[in-house]
Chains A and B, each alone.
Chain A
Amino acid sequence: MNEQVLQTLGRTFGAANVGTLRPRFDAAPLPMVAPSSVEGFRAALELSRANRWRVLPVGLGSKLSWAPAPGPADFVLSTWAYAGVESYEPGDGTLTARAGTTWAELSARVAVGGHALSPDVPRPKGSTLGGVIAAGQSGADRLRHGALREHVLGLTYLLSDGTLGRCGGRLVKNVTGYDLQRLFAGSHGTLGLILEASLRLFPLPEQEVLASWRAPDRGSALAAARRLLGPELSPWSVVLTAHGAEWTVHARLAGRAESVAAEHQALERLLPGARCLAGEAAGPAAQELRDSAFGEIDGPRLVLQVRPSACAVALDVALEALAAPQFRDSCTPQWRCEPGLAVIEAALGARAHDPGLLAALTDSLARALAPLSGAVRLLHAPEGMPTTAEAGAPSAGLALMRRLRRQLDPAGTFEAGRFLP
């Protein structure tokens, strides 16, 4: 750890207020400050400018290994201590809060007024508002509510030069000025620090049902999912999970009590023999299903996205690729597939840590899936992976993205080698 950085931060923020954070599970710890005021963030950025230090912005740091590895940063600037709800407007269905507020806290707050947040993120206690937006994370309810970026109504952000800016607003409909919130959502902290955000809220479901059905084989599981995704139901999620060759179909219904009751009947017809949990009993099981996405850091996680019509083919391709002799010994994939969104995930297991092998895997999958509009990402990639083989390496618009980054962060303070090749 850089002692000079540690001492300088200590002098400005008080030694007791400087902690450390490992930017990735396999990296050395960095000094970290977590200011609780805008002035504090400004002071930290002023230090970074004066010393030409690179800053790694984080919330609670749970999604740092979703994007390519941060490059050499000098300290971590966390928003976790900048927390609290600014305003919750139950009559208008909107929420504005500081970036460090956890998703769990926000959910609890709006539930009082009968509202729910979207995305329904995994492990909400360890996720902050700013972190979820910066990571562009969508949740278990995406099938019903769409992507996170569609629900961010406005932002307050701090650029590395100290500019405190605002975009959008707190209204559910608004076209005043550029939608910079769309630029910040999913930018992994490379453009600026998100300090505050406003979200559109959704009705808290009155009732839910979680159905699961063990399929005799993968083909039947996919066919069942297709039936559930037809016009008769509008589920929150339809997920397939696999343990070995055994596939289970999970469907979550949620909404107004009468609608869910009617959908429940339809579901029993569409998925005969399914085991259904309703009401309070559905809660923990639904949570478990939700939290199985982008799981704990148990090794690299492969995420494939294709067009929905190509989901079955892509699953075949991925299964076949991982069954190849060179991967069979090191990868113990746990599969998860959302056919409605055409997202396929494979947790590869702790033994899958050879960067060369993983790069070969992602490259070959990217080539195979390209004709299906496929995209391949590797979350929690081990150190030493070539960046291009990692998460979301963009193909088109790269020069423009670099110009955007230069405009907002000319000194490259937040760049930390991340995100764009």
Chain B
Amino acid sequence: MALSAAARRELDRILGPRGVVDGAVASLAYESDGLALIRGTPEIVLLPRDTAQCAAALGVLAAEGVPVVGRGAGTGLSGGATPVSGGALVGMARMRDVLELNLQDRFARVQAGMVNVDLTNLCAKHGLFYAPDPSSQQACTIGGNVGENSGGPHCFKYGATTRHVLGLVIVTADGQVLDLSQPRLEPDGYDLVGLFVGSEGTFGLATEITVRLTRKPAAVETLLAVFGDLDGACDATSDLIAERLEPSAIEILDRLTIEAVEQSVFRAGYPRGAGAVLLVEVEGSETEVATTVRDVTRIARARGALEVRSARGESERKKLWAGRKGAFGAMGRIAPDLYVADVCVPRTRLKELVLAATRIAAEKRLKLSNVFHAGDGNLHPNISYDRRNPDEVERVLAAGREIMELCVAAGGSLTGEHGVGLEKREEMCLVYGDDDLAVMRRVREAWDPARRMNPGKLLPVRGCREARGASLPRRAAPDHAPQAHGGSGR
């Protein structure tokens, strides 16, 4: 639906000249998020400065019946911020302020566009940090993290975004402000904040977020266990879980990832030629760290680790983590594009499912690398490809789907931290039935009766029975076919 001239003038008045973008800039800069295979064109891009501007703008859009898509930094990997239905894209890029930093009670209230790592940097000197640390934390926003319920390596100990969000200010579809920003131990009534986190922009826009800040641990140690192959690293992880050890992060990088990282600017000193490395971080009191390090080392050796060593000092520790977090960027050395799959599996079945993903990729003549949150059972089988090759794109999508189906059949889930978005919308029927999804639709309608917030995301368009009858489409139908275009996925 096109905006009326009067509405356009009203938006200009509310947001000012820097707050409204349209034309070629809007269509190019905001056509997709990190899932570059699917694109859309927003009719207009709005960049509010605060909650009041955002609410006033959404009020105008409500009167016009225009769809609204929220966007943080556009680093999402499931198409959540892609404007497939046109309409208005509301970006949080100009909402980056810290509104309150409470060191005593250890929380911060920030605007939704604040970059994840900026918050941690800001409170580092006070001995605090913000725990969720997605690989994209140098760019992604807290608001986007709320939308997707983002994870990251240290979520193994600290939990995903939802555990750290204490309050929200939400602008609803009709432009009303819902102030749930008071950090309370227990919600007043239903847990609206908990329900909102991970709703992928389909309930409303979070404009201000109250987050828990975590005290830095007394001691930290980062272990690197080097394995001849991926199996040993996976088995060691399963053993760590079975022994109920509690490090703060358990990550695996495979041979191809190690090579890519070591050839890139993120060079971390991972041993070249290793089949896999297990990166384990242990935090807590001195004693806790010492005993856990001892046990992790024992388990890794028992599973055939060729070497287990601790990072020597803070700078090596940082380097090891920079390598891990830069791994997706480093993949650019392998091929121009990267398809990052994101599935979760029971941690008793890591080895088997990683192997199966490798087999599927090999059968389809694709280059697969693995870098993943092993401790959470959160696999990221990454397929390097070139989107200018339509046949390869087809094979990538087919492999992605096959891996997903296999993991779900093994008791896994569709997504561990990247969200459903457009990418896995139709695949929701793999894990849920029509009744489950109908209830989710009812919940969504309580928030947004006109279904204007991020339409076409998260919930399948067709019923599962119908879709199964017609055999599921390979992927949510993009508005635009894959096309030759610069930039890569993550």
A residues at B contact (CB < 8 Å): 89-94, 114-115, 136, 146-147, 149-150, 159, 163-167, 169-180, 182-183, 185-187, 203-204, 231-232, 234, 255-256, 258-259, 261-263, 305, 307-309, 341-343, 373, 375, 392-398, 400-401, 403-404, 406-408, 419-420
Instruction: Name the distance in Å between A231's Cβ and chain B's nearest Cβ.
Output: 6
- Contact residues in A for B411 (Cβ distance below 8 Å): 170-171
- Answer whether residue B286 sits at the interface, using C-beta atoms and an 8 A cutoff: yes
Write 24 A-B pairs (CB below 8 A) sorted by A numbering: A89-B346, A90-B242, A91-B347, A92-B346, A136-B191, A164-B435, A169-B413, A171-B377, A174-B415, A175-B417, A179-B162, A180-B439, A182-B194, A183-B191, A185-B194, A186-B191, A203-B246, A232-B218, A255-B288, A262-B286, A375-B186, A394-B187, A398-B189, A407-B445
Q: Contacts of B348 on A, CB cut-off 8 Å?
A: 89, 91-92
Asked if B287 and A262 make an inter-chain contact with CB atoms under 8 angstroms apart, the answer reads yes
Interface: B451 (CB within 8 A): no
Contact A91 B436, CB 8 Å, known A149-B191, A173-B160, A183-B191: no
B203 → chain A closest CB, angstroms = 9
A187 touches B190 (CB 8 A): yes
Closest to B181 in A: A396
A contact face: mostly helix, strand, loop, or mixed: loop
User: How distant is the Cα of A258 from the Cα of B105 in the complex, in angstroms?
Assistant: 30
Interface centre among A93, A186, A256 (most CB of B within 10 A): A256
- Chain A residues whose CB sits within 8 angstroms of the CB of B445 once the complex forms: 407
1/0 per position for B269-289, CB-CB distance to A under 8 A? 000000000000000111110
- Residues facing A in B143-169 (CB within 8 A) are 148-149, 151, 155, 159-160, 162-163
Also in contact, A394 and B438, with CB within 8 A (given A178-B199, A180-B443): no
The complex places the Cα of A350 from the Cα of B344 at a distance, in Å, of 51
Q: How far is the CB of A184 from chain B (nearest CB, A)?
A: 9
Given contacts A174-B344, A179-B194, contact A408 B188 (CB under 8 A): no
- Given contacts A163-B439, A258-B291, A401 and B189 within 8 Å (CB-CB): yes
In the complex the two chains form, is B284's CB within 8 Å of A234's CB? yes
What separation, in Å, do the CA atoms of A93 and B375 have in the docked complex?
A: 11
Establish whether residues A182 and B195, one from each chain, have CB atoms under 8 Å apart when the complex forms.
yes
Could you list 14 further interchain pairs (A-B, Cβ under 8 angstroms) beyond the known A136-B191, A171-B345?
A92-B347, A93-B347, A150-B162, A171-B411, A171-B412, A177-B428, A178-B458, A309-B102, A309-B104, A396-B179, A400-B172, A400-B178, A400-B192, A408-B443
> How many Å lie between the Cα of A136 and that of B187 in the bound state?
10
- Docked Cα-Cα span, A147 to B414, in Å, equals 26
Query: Closest residue to B440 on the A side, CB-wise?
Result: A178
Measured in the bound complex, the distance between the Cα atoms of B241 and A232 in whole Å is: 26
Question: Could you say which residues of chain B place their CB within 8 Å of the CB of A258?
Answer: 287-288, 290-291
Contact between B344 and A165 (Cβ–Cβ < 8 Å)? Answer: no
CB contact list, B414-453 vs A, under 8 A: 414-420, 424, 428, 431-433, 435-440, 442-447
A226 to chain B, nearest CB (A): 11
Instruction: Give CA–CA (A362, B59) in the complex, Å.
Output: 38
With contacts defined as CB atoms under 8 Å apart, how many contacts are there between chain A and chain B in the complex? 230
CB distance from B41 to the nearest CB of A (A): 27
Which of chain B's residues have a CB closer than 8 A to the CB of A91? 238, 241-242, 346-348
Please encode chain B, from 186 to 208, with 1 for each CB lying within 8 Å of some chain A CB and 0 for all others.
11111110110111000000000
Most buried by B among A169, A185, A261: A169
Taking a contact as CB atoms closer than 8 A, the residue among A89, A175, A262 that contacts B419 in the complex is A175
- Residues from chain A with Cβ under 8 Å of B189 in the complex: 392-394, 397-398, 401, 419-420
Whole-angstrom distance between the Cβ of A145 and the nearest chain B Cβ: 10
What interface size band does chain B fall in?
A: 35 or more
Task: Report the nearest A residue to B246, measured CB to CB.
Answer: A203
* Contact call A305/B218, Cβ cutoff below 8 A: no
CA of A406 to CA of B337, assembled, Å: 46
Which one of B195, B246, B428 lies within 8 Å of A179 (CB-CB)? B195
CB distance from B372 to the nearest CB of A (A): 11
Interface flag for B133 (CB, 8 Å):
no
Chain B residues near A393 (CB-CB < 8 A): 188-189
CB-CB < 8 A to B244: which residues of A? 93, 114-115, 203-204
Residue B251, interface by CB 8 Å:
no
CB pair B447 A400 closer than 8 Å: yes
Which of B151, B194, B197, B241 touches A92 (beta carbons < 8 Å)?
A: B241
Top 10 closest pairs, chain A to chain B, by CB? A394-B189, A182-B194, A394-B188, A262-B287, A203-B244, A91-B348, A403-B446, A407-B442, A309-B104, A173-B376
Q: Are A176 and B183 in contact (CB under 8 A)?
A: no
Assembled-state Cα–Cα distance A91/B418 (Å): 25
On whether the beta carbons of A259 and B246 are closer than 8 Å, the reply is: no
Question: Considering only CB atoms, which chain A residue lies closest to B212 in the complex?
Answer: A146
Residue in B192, B218, B417 whose Cβ sees the most chain A Cβ within 10 Å: B192
Q: A179-B198, A305-B186 are in contact. Are A406 and B446 (CB under 8 A)?
A: yes
Which A residue's beta carbon lies closest to that of B202? A178
B222 to chain A, nearest CB (A): 19
CA distance A3 to B156 in the complex (A): 55
* In the complex, B182 has a CB within 8 A of chain A: yes
Minimum CB–CB distance for A141 against chain B, Å: 14
In the complex, residue of chain A having the shortest beta-carbon distance to the beta carbon of B411: A170
Task: Find chain A residues with CB under 8 A from B419 CB.
Answer: 175
- CB of B218 within 8 A of CB of A175, answer no
Q: Which residue of A has the minimal Cβ distance to B197?
A: A179
B378 part of interface (Cβ distance < 8 Å): yes
- Proximity bits, B400-416, A CB within 8 Å = 1, else 0: 00000000000111111
* Given A178-B443, A305-B184, A404-B190, CB of A231 within 8 Å of CB of B215: yes
Check if A166 sits within 8 Å of B187, measured CB to CB.
Answer: no
Q: Are B416 and A175 in contact (CB under 8 A)?
A: yes
- Nearest B-chain residue to A308, judged by Cβ: B105
Taking A175-B416, A231-B215 as contacts, is the C-beta distance between A165 and B435 under 8 angstroms? yes
Q: A150 to B163, Cβ gap below 8 A?
A: yes
* A165 in contact with B446 (CB, 8 Å): no
* Cα distance A149–B291 in the bound complex, in angstroms: 30
Could you tell me if B187 and A173 are in contact, using CB atoms closer than 8 angstroms? no
Chain B residues near A114 (CB-CB < 8 A): 244
Give Cα A88–Cα B114 distance, bound, in whole angstroms.
41
Q: How far is the CB of B199 from chain A (nearest CB, A)?
A: 6
Of B180, B218, B284, the contact of A397 (CB 8 Å cutoff): B180
| A175 and B149 contact, CB distance less than 8 A | yes
Q: Mark B169-181, 1 if CB is under 8 A from A, else 0.
A: 0001000001110
- Please report the C-alpha to C-alpha distance between residue A178 and residue B446 in the assembled complex, in whole angstroms: 13
